[in-house]
Chain A
Amino acid sequence: MSKYLLDKFLYTVDRDADLTERYREDPAGTVDWWESTMANALLNSHSGEASTWLRFTDEERAALAGHDHVALFALGAHPFLTLTLFIAMFERDHDEPLFYQKQYGARLAHFELPYPDIAT
């Protein structure tokens, strides 16, 4: 399990407008590219410095590549990060205000307390 890396993907993609669009249009390709070039970047350091050990599990990679926010919730990705990025990608596809947010919640209706642990 690498909840931290799931969160890092959601965090970095959400905060880059071009990357948000790229992930919307080509999720599997973006996840592959990100894991091979970005996953180990030290965000709080000078450019060029990187870690050496970060990678997704197959389950995590599939959840991201499938835009599967229900699976991400089950895996313990931080719900604020997932929600924020998915609103950015998909709210625009619906005319009614908050339709997407409500649908997003309804898809998670089968989860009961305690929710999956989000501690990293």
Chain B
Amino acid sequence: MAQVVAVIASTHHPFYYKASTATGADRPPFADEWVRKVTAFRETLTRANPDVLVMVGSDHFHQLWLDNMPQFLVGKAPFYDANWHNEQREFGLPRMLLRGQEDLSAHVLREGLDAGFDLAFSNELRIDHSITCPIITLRPEADLPIVPIYTNIFAPPLPQPKRFVQLGRTIRELVESWPSDLRVAVIGTGHLSLELGGPRQFGPHGPDPEFDRRAVEWIANGDLDGCLSEVTLDSLHAPGNATHGFMDFMLMMGVAGAGAKADYVDTYDLFHTMEAYFTWYPQGAPA
């Protein structure tokens, strides 16, 4: 059966690409340290030597729209074009093309449906920066096939936080029951406290540093009970109006497993939002 060789949870910051490639007067003062941290984080994936990446993210009203909105969707296609007009316009993100691991998509869909998740699917999915940001930070060669999984953290009504955790647990089981000898890394991105289009946006830090501190603690310690006892769909409005993206971190805690302490933890306090990077090695840390 396939092995989950790394579980990685990360924020996705669409400004990283532009900041890290800027030179001269255009290069922001925080860029060098950011690149250093991302390069160290990247090494945690490289060391696991994965063959396939399961990528959990959330479409930002690109292909998934309010006339037809799935809660959880799995891409099943041989290729995925990536990044959209407005991401090129606002963030300078490049157009990309990623290969798909279609047989693993089929396995996740069939077995996921049978495990109680009525997963939607797409055979022609153009992915957005929630998935391409971690490709750019963690695997800039973009050379590994992927299985994209989208969650709805964006357009209420949203699934409950516990459902994200359950889906994470199920994804772990599904990958580990995939009849393959390939090495799989599961990578998901979300947010800590975040405000978009509201009064607390683009401040010197994230909108709620105290939430961020506690969130990092929950994730680093695999403290699902503590996290689930405090986080609700209502409570997530308080740290910032886009903080429901934290539920993708909760999904990744489900993949890693209750009580699983992260093998690698790093954060970077930036304007607008705090960056946070976590890696678990379910098979033990690679040599």
Contact = CB atoms under 8 A, between A and B. Distances in A.
Which of B61, B65, B195 has the most chain A CB atoms closer than 10 A to its own CB?
A: B61
Interface residues of A, number: 38
B202 A101 contact: yes
B67 interface: yes
B68 interface: yes
B196 A87 contact: no
Contacts of A105: 195, 198-203
Interface string A57-101: 000000000000100010000111111100110000000011001
B142 interface: no
Interface of A: 4, 7-8, 11, 14-15, 17, 42-44, 69, 73, 78-84, 87-88, 97-98, 101-102, 104-106, 108-111, 113-115, 118-120
Nearest to A101: B202
Given A15-B86, A83-B196, A102-B202, A78 B67 contact: no
Contact of B67 (A44, A102, A118): A44
Interface residues of B, number: 30
A109 to B, nearest CB: 5
Given A78-B61, A88-B90, A119-B157, A83 B197 contact: yes
Contact of A106 (B85, B196, B199, B242): B199
B287 interface: no
B60 interface: yes
Contacts of A102: 202
B225 to A, nearest CB: 27
